[in-house]
């Protein structure tokens, strides 16, 4: 039996660059930064006072009463998923719910709900704690809400693998569609933890940029002056379907999700393996799964978060896997690091690179690291045919997820 091919038919996102895919993509191609100074009182005592907040606040998109029962990460996921659903032409047409699956993960989940409700508990006692607290903070909450609103009954799943989550969600959805457990899947990631505790926690790991006086220049993957990642928030979602299902309904196809692979480092809880063995194995396996040669990869949307070790370990891994003909970029230079949403938003960028033949720039790459020996789209977008693209995503815990998108 031949394998069920899977294609991308709908995209949705709300990011630091825009409230939808069109505005996000336009800002990416133009090379605009979404990083801003945190001017709130609570931020002033923190070592990190910059972040990439969603450009369009979910509070201006969703109904006030509905927002009372949604964590911000759930609200973002719902916005992205509904956009993707409409973009796929399914808002009115719909699909058989028993053939529809949802895979939407989050790296951290409803941490801001947990912290806000703890403030209420401390100040006013248990009776004032919201009855919506648990469904707001549970990590499967975003997936469950998306599944509920779209009527998904083939299964609703919430993988969690820190900053690899969004890409893992897409990889699991591919498995679900190939195995025949569903014909259509909504896959993505979401994150919204711009709050003093997560900021302080990441800052305590010395993982974040402290370029507080120049927010737009703070996220600078591959640049000699990089000093850590910038926390971002938002969500990305895509509609995946079997090619047969998409063709039968005459859907517009952005790209083929040709292959995926997931590996684990078995090295350290947070440090990337400096040899990049796990990354290399993931790239090799994803290419085999997609039946694409390493030399045919024209573009890599890299994980590169703007940390000293990670960015160069990834470059070394790409070289080791012989992905050397690609124009590489890190859109995190503009969006910041969306943690559990990063792999989803960056996959959307990679898909649009395949679809439009444009690779967005890595901004702030003024002074490339001496170890950078691959072609990176520094500062300006590149126009080139992209028959095949990779998205890399890695997460604390040693998770590596690699996706291969090809022209349909």
Partner 1 sequence: MTTRDEITAGLAEILEEVAGVSPDDVAESKSFTDDLDVDSLSMVEVVVAAEEKFGVKIPDDEVQNLKTVGDAVSYIEKASA
Q: Which residues bind partner 1 (CB under 8 A)?
A: 63-65, 68-69, 127-128, 130-132, 135
| Residue closer to partner 1, measured from CB, 133 or 400 | 133
Q: Least distance to partner 1 from the beta carbon of 322, Å?
A: 54
Angle (deg, nearest 10), helices 111-124 and 196-204 = 120
| Residue closer to partner 1, measured from CB, 3 or 64 | 64
| Residue closer to partner 1, measured from CB, 113 or 307 | 113
- Which residues on neighbouring strands pair with residue 241, listed in sequence order? 7, 184
315: alpha, beta or left, given left = phi > 0 and alpha = psi -120 to 50? Answer: alpha
Q: Least distance to partner 1 from the beta carbon of 130, Å?
A: 7
Q: Least distance to partner 1 from the beta carbon of 143, Å?
A: 19
Distance between first and last Cα of the chain:
21
Q: How far is CA 54 from CA 14, 118, 167, 325, in A?
A: 7, 24, 20, 34
Q: Least distance to partner 1 from the beta carbon of 81, Å?
A: 22
Angle (deg, nearest 10), helices 342-356 and 21-30 = 70
Is 303 marked active-site? yes
| Residue closer to partner 1, measured from CB, 133 or 263 | 133
Q: What is the 3-state secondary structure (H, E, C) of 113-180?
A: HHHHHHHHHHHHCHHHCCCCHHHHHCCCHHHHHHHHHHCCCCEEECCCCHHHHHHHHHHHHHHHHHCC
Residues 6+ apart with CB under 8 A from 214: none
Is 82 marked active-site? no
> Out of 82, 157, 245, 337, which one is annotated catalytic?
337
| Residue closer to partner 1, measured from CB, 37 or 129 | 129
Pairing status of strand 327-329 against strand 299-301: parallel
φ and ψ at residue 327, rounded to 5 degrees: -85, 120
> Out of 82, 157, 299, 303, which one is annotated catalytic?
303
Q: Least distance to partner 1 from the beta carbon of 71, Å?
A: 14
> Out of 82, 163, 245, 399, which one is annotated catalytic?
163
Q: Least distance to partner 1 from the beta carbon of 105, Å?
A: 24
Place of tokens 């040669």: 293
| Residue closer to partner 1, measured from CB, 117 or 335 | 117
Q: What is the DSSP letter of 216?
A: G
Is 337 marked active-site? yes
Q: What is the DSSP letter of 353?
A: H
| Residue closer to partner 1, measured from CB, 133 or 301 | 133
Residues 6+ apart with CB under 8 A from 12: 20, 21, 79, 80, 81, 82, 83, 84, 85, 86, 87, 188, 236, 237, 238
What sign for the dihedral angle of Cα 292, 294, 299, 300? positive
Q: Least distance to partner 1 from the beta carbon of 128, Å?
A: 7
Active-site residues, by number, are: 163, 303, 337
């Amino acid at each position: 039996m031949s394998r069920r091919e899977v294609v991308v038919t709908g995209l949705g996102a709300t990011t630091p660059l825009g409230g939808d895919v069109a505005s996000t993509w336009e800002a990416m191609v133009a090379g605009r930064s979404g990083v801003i100074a945190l001017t709130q009182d609570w931020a002033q005592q923190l070592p990190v006072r910059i972040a990439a907040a969603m450009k369009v606040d979910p509070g201006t998109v969703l109904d006030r009463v509905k927002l009372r029962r949604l964590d911000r990460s759930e609200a973002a996921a719902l916005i992205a998923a509904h956009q993707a659903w409409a973009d796929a032409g399914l808002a009115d047409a719909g699909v058989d719910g028993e053939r529809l699956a949802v895979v939407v993960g989050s790296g951290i989940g409803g941490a801001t709900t947990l912290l806000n409700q703890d403030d209420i508990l401390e100040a006013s006692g248990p009776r004032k704690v919201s009855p919506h607290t648990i469904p707001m903070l549970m990590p499967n909450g975003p997936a469950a809400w998306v599944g509920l609103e779209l009527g998904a009954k083939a299964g609703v799943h919430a993988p969690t693998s820190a900053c690899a989550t969004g890409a893992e969600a897409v990889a699991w959805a591919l498995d679900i569609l190939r195995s025949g457990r569903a014909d259509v899947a909504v896959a993505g990631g979401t994150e919204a933890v711009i709050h003093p505790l997560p900021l302080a926690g990441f800052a305590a790991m010395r993982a974040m940029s402290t370029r507080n006086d120049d927010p737009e220049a703070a996220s600078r993957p591959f640049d000699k002056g990089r000093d850590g990642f910038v926390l971002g928030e938002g969500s990305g979602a895509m509609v995946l379907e079997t090619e047969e299902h998409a063709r039968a309904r005459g859907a517009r196809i952005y790209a083929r999700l040709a292959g995926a692979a997931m590996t684990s480092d078995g090295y350290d809880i947070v440090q990337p393996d400096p040899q990049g063995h796990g990354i290399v194995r993931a790239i090799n396996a994803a290419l085999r799964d997609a039946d694409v040669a390493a030399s045919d990869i024209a573009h890599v949307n890299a994980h590169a978060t703007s940390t000293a070790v990670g960015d160069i370990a990834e470059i070394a891994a790409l070289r080791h896997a012989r992905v050397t003909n690609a124009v590489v970029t890190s859109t995190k230079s503009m969006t910041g690091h969306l943690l559990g949403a990063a792999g989803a938003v960056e996959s959307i960028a990679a898909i649009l690179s395949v679809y439009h033949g444009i690779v967005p720039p890595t901004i702030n790459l003024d002074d490339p690291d001496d170890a950078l020996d691959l072609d990176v789209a520094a500062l300006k977008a590149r126009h080139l045919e992209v028959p095949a693209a990779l998205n890399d995503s890695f997460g604390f815990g040693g998770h590596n997820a690699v996706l291969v998108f090809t022209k349909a």
